[in-house]
Structure formats: structure tokens, C-alpha cells
Structure 1
């Protein structure tokens, strides 16, 4: 092998063993879309779900025992005040009434005879009848008169019980349910028909203690009914409970100012309250700015995460914030951020705490 060949081989081996210089990888700051926090000047809203029910509903029953003879209505029928709804077999009540009337006639005749006897005795010359006999006749006449009064009361009760064999509507409304069948035996006070006022509805909701102080009587609200394509009904607060019923919640009743023939008992209604509480600032933040999957408070909380830009260092700071209701594409935030801070509103899953960023500028 020639010297030239040996020299070329040595140069090749030396060049193969040398390392190529490494190029340092530098992470460039990520450009992020941002928005400045501004306090919401509009009203703060709360939506609480409840169940719609008739504002006036009655469980109707007979006030006497008997056998049901006729039911004149069916579920869903509209009725008016005084309209007969059902009737018991009144034959026994009619017999009792006739018997009492006969007793009254006999008692009145006896009372008249006793009174006539007393009057004749008082007209007799003095000494013909003793004072004791005269007093006895007076007592007999008075007893007969009292017996008449007792039977007159029995007659009035018999007439009333006969009237009570007919169940009438106490107000204009709609039949919600019929609980018994014809020819069944019913007892005094047993529910026969449920009647509701189809022109007046209300919603009962449970408000947390944090809200109850901001609610007042006759406060205007709106109720959205999901079963009617979220149709809105105006209403007002008619009752405010003074005692906790469930957890830390108070019962509040909303009276609807407008009705509809499509409303039914048991439908769900979402009541929107306006809470005027200036001591609690609310900020409207885009939904895209929040991460609800890794909130620090755990599942089921009203917390979420977002990123605030430190404009001095251009480093992201992860914040845990308290959120409220959703308004269109925004959500209310009550704690964790301040007015005029810059927050990231896009690309949240690709960010991390402490990341260096730049502000994205639209061309």
C-alpha cells in the first residue's frame, strides 16, 4: 500500500470519529389570544328550576258517607262554579228527611195541644186549679216547644245532608283527576275529584341562603318552560319562606302573571331572578377562556381554571376562579380575577402555568 493511500485512510478515520456540533433548541414564546377583564355593568341573574303547579287546587270529597251513583265529569273537563260533579245514592237521605218532617209535624201538634191546655187553665177562676198543677202544665208546654226546636234542627241537618249527596265545583277550573268509580262506597272526607284552576299557575323553587336576602315580595321574574320550547312567562314573587326546608335553601313561590292552555301541573320551569347586589362584582368571561376539567375545588364545584398574563414578565399565571351563570357565549366570574387584567381566551388545553407568551395581534 502506497504512503498516499495510507494517509487518506487515516484522514477518513479521524473525520469519522469527530462529533458534529450540537444546535441548542430554544422554545419561542407562544402567541396567545387575550382579552381584558371588565366588570359587568348589567344586572346579575340567577336561574333556579322548580315545578309548575296550579295556584289553586282542591281535593274534593263528599261530607257524608254513601254509595257513588253518578260521576258527571272526566279528567281534563272544564267546569264552572256550582256545577254538579258527582252524586251519591240519596234514597236513604230522602227517607231520613221525610221521617224527620213527619216527626216535626207530630211535635208541633203536641206543642200546640200543650199550649192550649195551659191557656185554658190560666183562664179558669182562681181556686179551680192549684198552683202546682198550673206549673206542671206550663212545664209541659215549654218541653213540647223545645222538642219542636230539636226536630226543626234535625230537619235542617237532614236537608243539608241530602244536599251534600251532590258534589259541586267550588270554583271555575279543570278536572285534574277522578279517584273513584261509580257504585263504589265512599267515606266522608275521601278524595273523589281533584280540581285545579287552569287560569292561574305558580312555581315553587328553593333558593340558597346567599340569594334569599336579595329577593323581595312582588319582585318581577321570568319563567321559561322547557316543555313549551322555553316559552317565557312573566311572574312575580308571591311567597318567601322564613325557614330553611332543604339544606340551606328557602322555599319561594312565584305567581305567573300570564297563563296558557298548554301549561300543565308538574311541568318544569326555570325561574330567572335579577339579583341587585353591588357588593359582589361580576365579570363576563368567554367560555373558551375556562378549563372546567381540572378545577382545584374538585368535581361538582362552581370553580374553573383560567390563565392570567403577567404583562411585566409575560408569564402565564394559572388562577382558580368562582363562576356563575352562562350568558350566551360568556359566563359570570365572581372571584379570582380583577378588572383590567389580561386573560387568555383561546388554546387553553395547550397552556401551562409559568409558560412565557407573547400577545397575539390581529393583522
Structure 2
């Protein structure tokens, strides 16, 4: 009885072990694969040229007068608004000249009053003597003396008025000199460079700071003479920045240079349709032009890494969905031109098809696979 019970236990354990082995065998491991997608594109001539970001407006600010720089109120990178003070030079001498010119103006005003008074008196005397002369009550010499005195007073008064006009201009000029000793921002922008330090002596016209506009950033690019005739104002372009990999921005041609840049390239200015804050002057950029199309018929494009080659020719592994996994099907293709997006391919594929892009040498036709997470 005991032997029979022990035998029964061994039989049950053996059956359980075989069952677990069958379950383990039945669990199939699916190979993960990287994948890409078949897309469409036209056979357009696409060329890319390197350029540099720049501000649409950049100005070197300077004083209109000379003197010692008393203060500089900005630093490189500061954002300034229109009319904001930038720097100031010592205005003591210019204030003195302004006060002197105002004093001279007051002196001239006094002279005008005196000349006007003399003019009134001499004119009254002349009119009185003129009537007496008409009645033969005074001599000709007295009449001529009165007339001469009147004309002299008139000339003196006119000269005083001219001197007053000149004095007014001198006052205005001296006032401008005081104003010119303060440097302000002509428009809203960013300070990109400082050329002087406080307490330096500067001449009129010496650059003090450089200010760059914050609106409408541009890309300056040199286009070879072979393509310049195909570039036109408002032409659409795509822009990529080395500082922002993986991102593409739309833009348009703003200016097309007529003369070369000293070699076989011509300057072209590009403006970004939707400017971004991260774009700074001096950043490297690539501008992509589409120069028409040889064949406007759209063609299938496969990622470069998806195309393999064996003794039968070129092929790709198309990934067909089946329940919760995918089946890798080997599809022979005819490979055409290489484009920036991949190889042009024909035969057996459609737009949107998924294809393997890695491990082509170890994938077998009909193999069950799963798609790898793009983040892996």
C-alpha cells in the first residue's frame, strides 16, 4: 500500500514538470526591431547653403560731441527701450557755453530795445523836419541830416535783429551740445557690444556701444552663382539651426544681392516667418532651397538604413501587423536616387508602410517581431 502511494506521487510530479516545460516552450520570445516609415516626395532639386544669423538692424551708437565718458548705464546683453539712457559724457563745458549763449542773447535783446528806441526818435524827428523843409522853415542841410540819422537808426535796428537771429541759433546750438552729451537708444533692442570704458576720452563719432534689433531676425547666406538666378524675393525656404538640432523653421527670401560677395557667391537675406527667442546673432544655420522639380510625380522614399543588399539585389523588411506582433516580410525593391530623406524605391511598398531599419542581417523572412520603443 505504501509503495503504491509513493509511485502515484512520483507520477503526478513528473506530469506537472512536463506541463510546465510545455508552457515554457509555448512562450515565444519576439525580437525587437527599430523601424521607419515609407514616405512620398517629389523629385525636386533641393540644395542647402550655410549661413549666419543676424539682426535685421544693427547700429553702432556714438556721441556727436567729444569729452570724457562719465557713465555707462548698460551691459552687454541688456534689453533697452527707445529713448533709454545708454551713456553720458562730461557736459560741464557745454553747459557753460549754453549759459554764455543765453547771456549773449539777453545782451542782444537789450541792444534791440535801444536800437528800436533810437529808430522811433529819429523817425519822428525826420518826419518833423521833412514838413518844416516843405514849408521852407529849415535848410536843406538840416533836412538831409535828419534823414541820414533816420536811415542810420533803421540800419542799426535791422542789424540788431540779424544779430538776435544769430544769437538764437547759437543758443539752440549750445543747447544741442548739452543734449548730445547724453546717448540714448534709438530703438528697442539688445546691447551686443561695449567699445569704451568709463573715464575714457572719446571724440565725436567714436563708437560707444552696438545695439541690435530684436524683431525680424535674419539669416545671411551665400548662394553660388550656379543657383542665384533661381532665387527670388519671397521664395519659401526651410531653415535648420545647429543650436537646435532636429527642428526646422519656415522662412522666405527677403533680399537677393545683385553683386557677388567677392567670390562666386551672392548674398541672400532670409527672414524667419515665425521668429524664435532662442535665435541669436552669429548662430550657424543651414538654409534649404527647393529649385523647381525635374519630375513632379511623387515617389516612395525609404529610410537609408532600411535598404539592404544580398545576392538577389536590394531589399527591405516590411513589417506587417498581425494580432499583437508583426511579421517581417522580405520585399525586393529597385533603388533609385538618394535624397535627403532616403532612397527612392519601387515595387511592393506603399506610403505609410513600416520597415525595419536595423539588424537586417539577422532578421529572417517571416520572423515574428515587435516594434522597439523609439525612445530606446
What interval of TM-score do these two structures reach, taking the shorter chain for normalisation? 0.5 to 0.7
Superposed counterparts of 1:127-166, under 5 Å: 127=142, 129-166=145-182
- Which residue does 1:272 correspond to in 2? 288
Q: Quote how far apart the aligned CAs of 1:243 are.
A: 1.7
TM-align CA RMSD: 3.1
The residue aligned with 1:101 is: 102
Q: Which residue of 2 aligns with 1:329?
A: 342
Alignment of 1:1-363 (within 5 A): 41-124=42-125, 125-126=128-129, 127=142, 129-278=145-294, 326-330=339-343
CA distance in 1, matches of 2:177, 2:203: 13
In structure 1, stretches of 5+ residues that fail to align are 1-38, 289-307, 309-322, 332-338, 341-361
In 1, the alpha carbon distance for the partners of 2:157 and 2:250 equals 69
State how many pairs are aligned: 267
Return the alpha-carbon distance in structure 2 between the equivalents of residues 252 and 261 of structure 1.
Answer: 22
Say if 1:49 and 1:120 are closer, same or farther in 2 by CA, change over 3 A. Answer: same
- The residue matched to 1:330 in structure 2 has which SS? strand
Taking structure 1 as the reference length, what is the TM-score of the superposition? 0.66
Secondary structure of the equivalent of 2:243?
Answer: helix
| In structure 2, distance between residues paired with 1:78 and 1:120 | 65
Supply the distance in 1 between the matched residues of 2:295 and 2:202 (Cα, whole angstroms). 60
Q: Which residue pairs with 1:348 in the alignment?
A: none
Q: Deviations over 1:34-85 (max 9, x none)?
A: xxxxx97343211111011111111011111111011111010111000111
Q: Distance in 2 between matches of 1:228 and 1:279?
A: 32
TM-score, reference length from structure 2: 0.64
- Larger proportion of helix: 2
2: distance between equivalents of 1:236 and 1:244?
Answer: 20
The alpha-carbon distance between structure 1 residues 262 and 327, as it changes in their structure 2 partners (threshold 3 A), is: same
Shift in alpha-carbon separation, 1:229–1:40, aligned structure 2, 3 A: closer
Q: Post-superposition shift, 1:220? A: 1.6
After superposition, the Cα gap between the structure-2 partners of 1:172 and 1:286, relative to the gap in structure 1 and judged at 3 Å, is closer
- Quote the Cα distance in structure 1 between the aligned partners of 2:297 and 2:48: 18
- In 2, Cα distance between equivalents of 1:93 and 1:231: 55
CA distance in 2, matches of 1:51, 1:105: 59
Taking the aligned partners of 2:295 and 2:241, their CA distance within structure 1 comes to 31
**Any gaps of 5 or more consecutive residues in structure 2?**
1-39, 130-141, 306-312, 314-336, 348-364, 367-376
Query: In 1, distance between residues paired with 2:85 and 2:251?
Result: 33
The verdict on how the C-alpha distance between 1:225 and 1:212 changes in structure 2, with shifts beyond 3 A counting, is same
Task: Check whether the contact 1:175–1:196 (CA below 8 A) recurs between aligned residues.
Answer: yes
- Contact 1:199 1:260 (C-alpha < 8 Å) held by counterparts: no
